[in-house]
Structure 1
Amino acid sequence: MTFSASAPAEDNAEVTSHTIRDALRDAIVDRRLAPGTKLSEADVGTIFKVSRTLVRSALQALSYEGLVLVERNRGAFVASPSLEEAHQIFASRRILEPGILTLAAGRITPADITHLRALLKDEERLMDERSQSARRAEIKASGDFHLALADISGNAVMRRFMDELVARSSLVIALYGQSAISSCGHQEHERIVDHLEAGETKRAAALMLHHIDHIEADLDLRPKKSTDLKEALLKGL
Protein backbone atom coordinates (compact mmCIF):
# COMPACT_ATOMS: atom_id res chain seq x y z
CA MET A 1 0.00 0.00 0.00
CA THR A 2 1.31 3.46 -0.89
CA PHE A 3 0.60 6.56 1.20
CA SER A 4 0.81 10.14 -0.03
CA ALA A 5 1.94 13.08 2.06
CA SER A 6 -1.17 15.19 1.48
CA ALA A 7 -3.29 16.16 4.47
CA PRO A 8 -6.46 14.05 4.80
CA ALA A 9 -9.94 15.46 4.76
CA GLU A 10 -11.18 12.23 6.35
CA ASP A 11 -9.76 8.88 7.33
CA ASN A 12 -8.49 6.63 4.58
CA ALA A 13 -10.93 3.69 4.75
CA GLU A 14 -8.14 1.25 3.88
CA VAL A 15 -6.08 2.19 6.93
CA THR A 16 -6.85 1.15 10.51
CA SER A 17 -5.03 1.79 13.77
CA HIS A 18 -3.65 -1.76 13.42
CA THR A 19 -2.22 -0.86 10.00
CA ILE A 20 -0.45 2.15 11.48
CA ARG A 21 0.75 0.19 14.52
CA ASP A 22 2.19 -2.58 12.35
CA ALA A 23 3.94 -0.13 10.01
CA LEU A 24 5.50 1.80 12.90
CA ARG A 25 6.37 -1.43 14.66
CA ASP A 26 8.16 -2.78 11.59
CA ALA A 27 10.10 0.48 11.22
CA ILE A 28 11.19 0.31 14.87
CA VAL A 29 12.15 -3.37 14.75
CA ASP A 30 14.00 -2.87 11.45
CA ARG A 31 15.84 0.06 13.11
CA ARG A 32 14.59 2.53 10.49
CA LEU A 33 13.23 4.55 13.42
CA ALA A 34 15.94 5.05 16.02
CA PRO A 35 15.33 5.12 19.79
CA GLY A 36 14.29 8.61 20.87
CA THR A 37 12.71 9.55 17.52
CA LYS A 38 9.66 11.78 18.00
CA LEU A 39 6.46 10.32 16.52
CA SER A 40 4.28 13.33 15.78
CA GLU A 41 0.57 12.46 15.58
CA ALA A 42 0.10 15.10 12.89
CA ASP A 43 3.00 13.86 10.75
CA VAL A 44 2.01 10.20 11.05
CA GLY A 45 -1.61 11.11 10.27
CA THR A 46 -0.54 12.97 7.15
CA ILE A 47 1.57 10.07 5.90
CA PHE A 48 -1.24 7.56 6.34
CA LYS A 49 -4.06 9.98 5.41
CA VAL A 50 -5.94 9.40 8.66
CA SER A 51 -7.07 11.38 11.68
CA ARG A 52 -4.94 11.86 14.77
CA THR A 53 -7.45 9.69 16.67
CA LEU A 54 -6.37 6.58 14.75
CA VAL A 55 -2.72 7.51 15.14
CA ARG A 56 -3.14 8.01 18.88
CA SER A 57 -4.70 4.55 19.19
CA ALA A 58 -1.77 2.99 17.32
CA LEU A 59 0.79 4.79 19.48
CA GLN A 60 -1.01 3.72 22.65
CA ALA A 61 -0.91 0.09 21.51
CA LEU A 62 2.84 0.38 20.88
CA SER A 63 3.33 1.92 24.31
CA TYR A 64 1.75 -1.18 25.88
CA GLU A 65 4.43 -3.24 24.09
CA GLY A 66 7.19 -1.03 25.44
CA LEU A 67 8.20 0.18 21.97
CA VAL A 68 6.87 3.72 22.29
CA LEU A 69 7.00 6.15 25.21
CA VAL A 70 4.03 8.53 25.44
CA GLU A 71 4.70 11.60 27.59
CA ARG A 72 2.05 14.10 28.59
CA ASN A 73 2.49 17.50 26.92
CA ARG A 74 5.51 16.21 24.97
CA GLY A 75 4.09 13.55 22.67
CA ALA A 76 5.25 10.09 21.64
CA PHE A 77 8.81 8.86 21.10
CA VAL A 78 10.42 5.59 20.09
CA ALA A 79 11.40 4.06 23.42
CA SER A 80 15.00 4.19 24.66
CA PRO A 81 15.40 1.18 26.98
CA SER A 82 17.46 1.75 30.11
CA LEU A 83 20.33 -0.53 31.09
CA GLU A 84 18.10 -2.21 33.66
CA GLU A 85 15.35 -2.77 31.07
CA ALA A 86 17.91 -4.25 28.70
CA HIS A 87 19.04 -6.76 31.34
CA GLN A 88 15.41 -7.62 32.12
CA ILE A 89 14.60 -8.24 28.46
CA PHE A 90 17.38 -10.81 28.10
CA ALA A 91 16.60 -12.34 31.50
CA SER A 92 13.03 -12.85 30.25
CA ARG A 93 14.29 -14.48 27.07
CA ARG A 94 16.40 -16.92 29.09
CA ILE A 95 13.28 -18.02 30.96
CA LEU A 96 10.95 -18.18 27.97
CA GLU A 97 12.92 -19.45 24.99
CA PRO A 98 14.15 -22.82 26.33
CA GLY A 99 10.53 -23.60 27.15
CA ILE A 100 9.42 -22.59 23.67
CA LEU A 101 12.15 -24.76 22.20
CA THR A 102 11.06 -27.76 24.27
CA LEU A 103 7.45 -27.35 23.12
CA ALA A 104 8.58 -26.91 19.52
CA ALA A 105 10.68 -30.09 19.72
CA GLY A 106 7.55 -32.08 20.56
CA ARG A 107 5.64 -30.76 17.55
CA ILE A 108 8.25 -30.14 14.88
CA THR A 109 7.75 -31.75 11.46
CA PRO A 110 10.05 -32.23 8.45
CA ALA A 111 8.24 -29.30 6.81
CA ASP A 112 9.10 -27.13 9.83
CA ILE A 113 12.76 -28.12 9.56
CA THR A 114 12.70 -27.19 5.87
CA HIS A 115 11.17 -23.80 6.72
CA LEU A 116 13.76 -23.11 9.42
CA ARG A 117 16.61 -23.97 7.08
CA ALA A 118 15.13 -21.65 4.44
CA LEU A 119 15.20 -18.84 7.02
CA LEU A 120 18.83 -19.67 7.80
CA LYS A 121 19.72 -19.59 4.12
CA ASP A 122 18.19 -16.12 3.77
CA GLU A 123 20.01 -14.97 6.91
CA GLU A 124 23.32 -16.23 5.48
CA ARG A 125 22.71 -14.41 2.21
CA LEU A 126 22.13 -11.14 4.06
CA MET A 127 25.33 -11.63 6.08
CA ASP A 128 27.30 -11.63 2.82
CA GLU A 129 25.96 -8.22 1.80
CA ARG A 130 27.51 -5.01 3.04
CA SER A 131 24.73 -2.42 2.68
CA GLN A 132 23.02 -0.82 5.67
CA SER A 133 19.63 -2.09 4.47
CA ALA A 134 21.03 -5.64 4.37
CA ARG A 135 22.32 -5.24 7.92
CA ARG A 136 18.85 -4.18 9.11
CA ALA A 137 17.32 -7.09 7.20
CA GLU A 138 19.77 -9.51 8.82
CA ILE A 139 18.71 -8.36 12.29
CA LYS A 140 15.09 -8.90 11.32
CA ALA A 141 15.90 -12.33 9.86
CA SER A 142 17.57 -13.30 13.13
CA GLY A 143 14.46 -12.29 15.05
CA ASP A 144 12.25 -14.13 12.56
CA PHE A 145 14.11 -17.36 13.36
CA HIS A 146 13.19 -17.06 17.04
CA LEU A 147 9.59 -16.19 16.18
CA ALA A 148 9.37 -19.19 13.85
CA LEU A 149 10.32 -21.47 16.75
CA ALA A 150 7.55 -19.85 18.81
CA ASP A 151 5.10 -20.53 15.96
CA ILE A 152 6.12 -24.21 15.90
CA SER A 153 5.59 -24.46 19.67
CA GLY A 154 1.85 -23.95 19.09
CA ASN A 155 1.53 -21.73 22.19
CA ALA A 156 -0.13 -18.49 21.11
CA VAL A 157 0.51 -16.76 24.45
CA MET A 158 4.24 -17.48 24.32
CA ARG A 159 4.25 -16.32 20.69
CA ARG A 160 2.86 -12.93 21.72
CA PHE A 161 5.44 -12.63 24.49
CA MET A 162 8.23 -13.45 22.04
CA ASP A 163 6.89 -10.90 19.56
CA GLU A 164 7.35 -8.19 22.17
CA LEU A 165 10.70 -9.48 23.41
CA VAL A 166 12.20 -9.69 19.92
CA ALA A 167 10.98 -6.18 19.13
CA ARG A 168 12.34 -4.76 22.37
CA SER A 169 15.62 -6.62 21.84
CA SER A 170 15.97 -4.76 18.55
CA LEU A 171 15.73 -1.44 20.42
CA VAL A 172 18.35 -2.58 22.90
CA ILE A 173 20.66 -3.63 20.06
CA ALA A 174 20.16 -0.24 18.39
CA LEU A 175 21.21 1.55 21.59
CA TYR A 176 23.90 -0.69 23.01
CA GLY A 177 25.32 -2.73 20.13
CA GLN A 178 29.12 -2.50 20.12
CA SER A 179 29.59 -3.59 16.51
CA ALA A 180 28.02 -2.38 13.28
CA ILE A 181 25.57 -5.23 13.59
CA SER A 182 24.65 -6.99 16.84
CA SER A 183 22.58 -9.95 15.76
CA CYS A 184 22.29 -13.61 16.62
CA GLY A 185 25.10 -15.99 15.70
CA HIS A 186 24.14 -17.66 12.44
CA GLN A 187 26.11 -20.82 13.22
CA GLU A 188 24.33 -21.14 16.55
CA HIS A 189 20.98 -20.99 14.75
CA GLU A 190 22.14 -23.80 12.46
CA ARG A 191 23.26 -25.95 15.39
CA ILE A 192 19.94 -25.44 17.17
CA VAL A 193 18.10 -26.71 14.08
CA ASP A 194 20.54 -29.64 13.81
CA HIS A 195 19.76 -30.64 17.41
CA LEU A 196 16.01 -30.32 16.82
CA GLU A 197 16.20 -32.45 13.70
CA ALA A 198 18.18 -35.11 15.60
CA GLY A 199 15.66 -35.10 18.46
CA GLU A 200 18.26 -33.74 20.90
CA THR A 201 15.93 -31.45 22.81
CA LYS A 202 18.09 -30.90 25.90
CA ARG A 203 21.10 -29.99 23.78
CA ALA A 204 19.00 -27.59 21.73
CA ALA A 205 17.64 -25.90 24.88
CA ALA A 206 21.13 -25.62 26.41
CA LEU A 207 22.46 -24.09 23.20
CA MET A 208 19.58 -21.61 23.18
CA LEU A 209 20.65 -20.36 26.62
CA HIS A 210 24.24 -20.05 25.42
CA HIS A 211 22.97 -18.30 22.32
CA ILE A 212 21.03 -15.67 24.30
CA ASP A 213 24.15 -15.10 26.44
CA HIS A 214 26.08 -14.55 23.20
CA ILE A 215 23.60 -11.94 21.97
CA GLU A 216 23.75 -10.02 25.25
CA ALA A 217 27.55 -10.27 25.40
CA ASP A 218 27.77 -8.30 22.15
CA LEU A 219 26.11 -5.34 23.87
CA ASP A 220 27.77 -2.68 25.99
CA LEU A 221 25.48 -2.81 29.04
CA ARG A 222 27.95 -1.43 31.54
CA PRO A 223 26.62 1.45 33.65
CA LYS A 224 27.72 4.79 32.20
CA LYS A 225 29.35 7.38 34.44
CA SER A 226 28.24 10.95 33.93
CA THR A 227 30.97 13.23 32.62
CA ASP A 228 31.01 16.98 33.10
CA LEU A 229 31.62 19.36 30.21
CA LYS A 230 35.13 20.36 31.24
CA GLU A 231 36.29 16.76 31.60
CA ALA A 232 34.79 15.76 28.25
CA LEU A 233 36.44 18.63 26.39
CA LEU A 234 39.85 18.33 28.04
CA LYS A 235 40.07 14.65 27.02
CA GLY A 236 40.08 15.74 23.39
CA LEU A 237 42.98 18.17 23.77
Structure 2
Amino acid sequence: MYDALLDAVMRGQLRPGERLVEPLLCERFGVSRTVVRQALHRLGELRIVDIVPNKGATVARPGPRETRDIFAARRVVEGGIVRAVARRITHGEVDRLKQRLRAEHEALHQQDHARWVALAGGFHLALAELSGNAELQRILSELMTRCSLIVALYEVPGESTCEHEEHEQLVEWLSLRDGAAAADAMDRHLLALEARLQLPPDDGGVEMA
Protein backbone atom coordinates (compact mmCIF):
# COMPACT_ATOMS: atom_id res chain seq x y z
CA MET A 1 0.00 0.00 0.00
CA TYR A 2 2.83 2.38 0.87
CA ASP A 3 4.57 1.65 -2.45
CA ALA A 4 1.33 2.06 -4.42
CA LEU A 5 0.53 5.45 -2.87
CA LEU A 6 4.12 6.64 -3.32
CA ASP A 7 4.06 5.58 -6.98
CA ALA A 8 0.73 7.34 -7.50
CA VAL A 9 2.25 10.58 -6.16
CA MET A 10 5.35 10.19 -8.38
CA ARG A 11 3.15 9.68 -11.46
CA GLY A 12 0.85 12.59 -10.60
CA GLN A 13 -2.18 10.32 -10.13
CA LEU A 14 -2.60 11.66 -6.59
CA ARG A 15 -2.56 15.44 -6.65
CA PRO A 16 -1.41 17.86 -3.93
CA GLY A 17 -4.22 18.57 -1.48
CA GLU A 18 -6.15 15.41 -2.36
CA ARG A 19 -7.79 13.71 0.64
CA LEU A 20 -6.77 10.16 1.48
CA VAL A 21 -9.93 8.69 3.00
CA GLU A 22 -9.19 5.79 5.35
CA PRO A 23 -12.36 3.70 4.71
CA LEU A 24 -11.83 3.93 0.93
CA LEU A 25 -8.19 2.89 1.28
CA CYS A 26 -9.20 -0.02 3.52
CA GLU A 27 -11.64 -1.20 0.86
CA ARG A 28 -9.26 -0.64 -2.05
CA PHE A 29 -6.37 -2.57 -0.49
CA GLY A 30 -8.38 -5.02 1.61
CA VAL A 31 -6.62 -4.09 4.84
CA SER A 32 -7.50 -2.82 8.30
CA ARG A 33 -7.41 0.80 9.42
CA THR A 34 -4.30 -0.02 11.44
CA VAL A 35 -2.43 -0.93 8.25
CA VAL A 36 -3.76 2.16 6.46
CA ARG A 37 -2.59 4.41 9.29
CA GLN A 38 0.85 2.77 9.33
CA ALA A 39 1.28 3.46 5.60
CA LEU A 40 0.05 7.04 5.93
CA HIS A 41 2.35 7.59 8.92
CA ARG A 42 5.36 6.47 6.87
CA LEU A 43 4.35 8.82 4.05
CA GLY A 44 3.91 11.57 6.62
CA GLU A 45 7.48 11.03 7.84
CA LEU A 46 8.64 11.70 4.26
CA ARG A 47 6.39 14.80 4.16
CA ILE A 48 4.52 13.33 1.21
CA VAL A 49 1.30 13.32 3.23
CA ASP A 50 0.01 15.84 5.75
CA ILE A 51 -1.86 14.30 8.69
CA VAL A 52 -4.08 16.56 10.81
CA PRO A 53 -5.65 15.10 13.98
CA ASN A 54 -9.42 14.67 13.70
CA LYS A 55 -9.30 15.76 10.04
CA GLY A 56 -7.39 12.97 8.32
CA ALA A 57 -4.66 12.82 5.70
CA THR A 58 -4.13 14.76 2.49
CA VAL A 59 -1.39 14.72 -0.13
CA ALA A 60 1.08 17.44 0.84
CA ARG A 61 1.13 20.88 -0.84
CA PRO A 62 4.72 22.25 -0.66
CA GLY A 63 4.85 26.04 -0.44
CA PRO A 64 7.30 28.36 -2.25
CA ARG A 65 9.81 28.44 0.60
CA GLU A 66 9.79 24.66 0.97
CA THR A 67 10.17 24.36 -2.81
CA ARG A 68 13.32 26.48 -2.79
CA ASP A 69 14.71 24.50 0.15
CA ILE A 70 14.10 21.21 -1.66
CA PHE A 71 15.84 22.40 -4.81
CA ALA A 72 18.76 23.74 -2.77
CA ALA A 73 19.07 20.30 -1.15
CA ARG A 74 18.92 18.61 -4.54
CA ARG A 75 21.74 20.80 -5.86
CA VAL A 76 23.97 19.76 -2.95
CA VAL A 77 23.05 16.06 -3.13
CA GLU A 78 23.14 15.70 -6.92
CA GLY A 79 26.36 17.69 -7.22
CA GLY A 80 27.94 15.13 -4.88
CA ILE A 81 26.38 12.28 -6.82
CA VAL A 82 27.80 13.26 -10.22
CA ARG A 83 31.24 13.87 -8.72
CA ALA A 84 31.15 10.34 -7.31
CA VAL A 85 29.87 8.91 -10.60
CA ALA A 86 32.63 10.65 -12.59
CA ARG A 87 35.27 8.92 -10.47
CA ARG A 88 33.96 5.41 -11.08
CA ILE A 89 31.85 5.32 -14.24
CA THR A 90 32.67 2.68 -16.87
CA HIS A 91 32.29 2.78 -20.66
CA GLY A 92 29.40 0.32 -20.38
CA GLU A 93 27.60 2.55 -17.89
CA VAL A 94 28.06 5.57 -20.18
CA ASP A 95 26.52 3.53 -23.01
CA ARG A 96 23.53 2.62 -20.81
CA LEU A 97 23.01 6.28 -19.90
CA LYS A 98 23.04 7.14 -23.61
CA GLN A 99 20.42 4.44 -24.19
CA ARG A 100 18.27 6.13 -21.56
CA LEU A 101 18.71 9.44 -23.38
CA ARG A 102 17.59 7.85 -26.65
CA ALA A 103 14.46 6.53 -24.91
CA GLU A 104 13.83 10.05 -23.49
CA HIS A 105 14.22 11.56 -26.96
CA GLU A 106 11.83 9.00 -28.45
CA ALA A 107 9.15 9.61 -25.80
CA LEU A 108 9.53 13.38 -26.23
CA HIS A 109 9.02 13.24 -29.99
CA GLN A 110 6.13 10.80 -29.69
CA GLN A 111 4.52 13.29 -27.27
CA ASP A 112 4.22 10.51 -24.69
CA HIS A 113 4.36 12.90 -21.75
CA ALA A 114 3.80 10.35 -18.97
CA ARG A 115 6.59 8.10 -20.25
CA TRP A 116 8.93 11.04 -20.79
CA VAL A 117 8.36 12.36 -17.25
CA ALA A 118 9.11 8.91 -15.82
CA LEU A 119 12.29 8.59 -17.91
CA ALA A 120 13.49 12.12 -17.10
CA GLY A 121 13.06 11.57 -13.37
CA GLY A 122 14.54 8.10 -13.67
CA PHE A 123 17.68 9.58 -15.21
CA HIS A 124 18.50 11.37 -11.95
CA LEU A 125 17.82 8.24 -9.92
CA ALA A 126 19.99 6.19 -12.31
CA LEU A 127 22.89 8.57 -11.65
CA ALA A 128 22.40 8.11 -7.90
CA GLU A 129 22.56 4.34 -8.36
CA LEU A 130 25.80 4.67 -10.32
CA SER A 131 27.33 6.61 -7.43
CA GLY A 132 27.43 3.40 -5.41
CA ASN A 133 26.23 5.29 -2.32
CA ALA A 134 23.01 3.83 -0.90
CA GLU A 135 22.40 6.78 1.41
CA LEU A 136 22.60 9.28 -1.46
CA GLN A 137 20.17 7.11 -3.40
CA ARG A 138 17.71 7.11 -0.49
CA ILE A 139 17.95 10.86 0.10
CA LEU A 140 17.52 11.69 -3.59
CA SER A 141 14.57 9.33 -3.94
CA GLU A 142 12.78 11.19 -1.13
CA LEU A 143 13.63 14.59 -2.63
CA MET A 144 12.46 13.47 -6.08
CA THR A 145 9.12 12.32 -4.69
CA ARG A 146 8.58 15.70 -3.04
CA CYS A 147 9.57 17.36 -6.33
CA SER A 148 6.76 15.42 -8.04
CA LEU A 149 4.30 17.27 -5.78
CA ILE A 150 6.01 20.58 -6.59
CA VAL A 151 5.78 19.99 -10.33
CA ALA A 152 2.10 19.04 -10.02
CA LEU A 153 1.45 22.34 -8.23
CA TYR A 154 3.66 24.81 -10.06
CA GLU A 155 4.48 23.48 -13.52
CA VAL A 156 3.70 26.03 -16.23
CA PRO A 157 1.52 24.45 -18.96
CA GLY A 158 3.61 23.64 -22.01
CA GLU A 159 6.92 23.89 -20.13
CA SER A 160 9.32 20.95 -19.84
CA THR A 161 10.43 20.45 -16.25
CA CYS A 162 13.57 18.60 -17.29
CA GLU A 163 15.33 19.50 -20.54
CA HIS A 164 16.67 16.60 -22.61
CA GLU A 165 19.66 18.63 -23.86
CA GLU A 166 20.75 19.31 -20.27
CA HIS A 167 20.82 15.58 -19.60
CA GLU A 168 22.93 15.07 -22.72
CA GLN A 169 25.48 17.62 -21.47
CA LEU A 170 25.69 15.83 -18.12
CA VAL A 171 26.39 12.49 -19.78
CA GLU A 172 29.06 14.12 -21.96
CA TRP A 173 30.95 15.44 -18.92
CA LEU A 174 30.59 12.12 -17.13
CA SER A 175 31.96 10.26 -20.15
CA LEU A 176 35.04 12.49 -19.85
CA ARG A 177 35.18 11.72 -16.10
CA ASP A 178 35.14 15.44 -15.33
CA GLY A 179 33.37 15.59 -11.99
CA ALA A 180 33.73 19.35 -11.50
CA ALA A 181 32.20 20.14 -14.89
CA ALA A 182 29.43 17.57 -14.33
CA ALA A 183 28.62 19.12 -10.93
CA ASP A 184 28.48 22.61 -12.50
CA ALA A 185 26.20 21.27 -15.25
CA MET A 186 23.93 19.62 -12.67
CA ASP A 187 23.75 22.85 -10.67
CA ARG A 188 22.72 24.83 -13.77
CA HIS A 189 20.25 22.12 -14.74
CA LEU A 190 18.46 22.18 -11.38
CA LEU A 191 18.47 25.98 -11.23
CA ALA A 192 16.86 26.04 -14.68
CA LEU A 193 14.31 23.41 -13.64
CA GLU A 194 13.36 25.50 -10.61
CA ALA A 195 13.17 28.69 -12.69
CA ARG A 196 10.64 27.04 -15.03
CA LEU A 197 8.16 26.68 -12.15
CA GLN A 198 5.56 29.37 -11.51
CA LEU A 199 5.90 29.96 -7.77
CA PRO A 200 3.53 32.31 -5.95
CA PRO A 201 5.03 34.98 -3.65
CA ASP A 202 6.02 33.94 -0.14
CA ASP A 203 3.43 34.72 2.51
CA GLY A 204 6.28 35.99 4.70
CA GLY A 205 5.28 33.79 7.62
CA VAL A 206 4.12 35.08 11.00
CA GLU A 207 6.35 37.02 13.38
CA MET A 208 6.04 35.41 16.82
CA ALA A 209 6.61 38.79 18.52
| TM-score > 0.5 by shorter chain | yes
Q: Secondary structure at the match of 2:170?
A: helix
Whether the 8 Å CA contact 2:89–2:177 is kept in 1: the answer is no
2:146 matched to 1:168? yes
Cα distance in 2 for partners of 1:166, 1:201 equals 22
CA distance 1:193–1:64, change in 2 (3 Å): same
1:42 counterpart residue number: 23
Q: Secondary structure at the match of 1:193?
A: helix
Whether the 8 Å CA contact 1:173–1:182 is kept in 2: the answer is no
CA distance 1:138–1:124, change in 2 (3 Å): same
Q: Alignment RMSD, CA only?
A: 1.5
Q: What code does the residue aligned with 1:215 have?
A: L
Superposition map of 1:38-77 within 5 A: 38-77=19-58
Structure 1 segments unaligned to the other structure (5+ residues)? 1-19, 226-237
Cα distance in 2 for partners of 1:213, 1:153 equals 22
Equivalences, count: 203
Identity %: 39
Report Cα offsets for 1:180-201 as digits up to 9, x if no partner.
Answer: 4542110110110011112222
Cα distance in 2 for partners of 1:50, 1:156 equals 31
> TM-score, length-normalised on structure 2?
0.92
Cα distance in 2 for partners of 1:122, 1:136 equals 13
Whether the 8 Å CA contact 1:179–1:218 is kept in 2: the answer is no
Cα distance in 2 for partners of 1:73, 1:125 equals 48
Cα distance in 2 for partners of 1:180, 1:224 equals 24
- The higher radius of gyration belongs to 1
Q: Secondary structure at the match of 1:50?
A: coil
Report Cα offsets for 1:11-54 as digits up to 9, x if no partner.
Answer: xxxxxxxxx11111111011011101111111112111111211
2:157 matched to 1:202? no
Cα distance in 2 for partners of 1:51, 1:85 equals 33
Report Cα offsets for 1:44-72 as digits up to 9, x if no partner.
Answer: 12111111211111111111111111111
2:207 counterpart residue number: none
Q: 1:105 aligns with which of 86, 95, 112?
A: 86
2:127 matched to 1:143? no
Report Cα offsets for 1:81-136 as digits up to 9, x if no partner.
Answer: 01111111101111111111101111211222122122212221221233xxx323
Q: What code does the residue aligned with 2:180 have?
A: K
The answer to which of 162-171 and 135-144 deviates more is 135-144
Whether the 8 Å CA contact 1:184–1:215 is kept in 2: the answer is yes
Cα distance in 2 for partners of 1:52, 1:177 equals 34
2:197 counterpart residue number: 219
Cα distance in 1 for partners of 2:70, 2:124 equals 14
Determine which structure has greater relative contact order: mean sequence separation of CA pairs < 8 Å that are 6+ residues apart, divided by chain length. Answer: 2
2:164 matched to 1:178? no
2:206 counterpart residue number: none
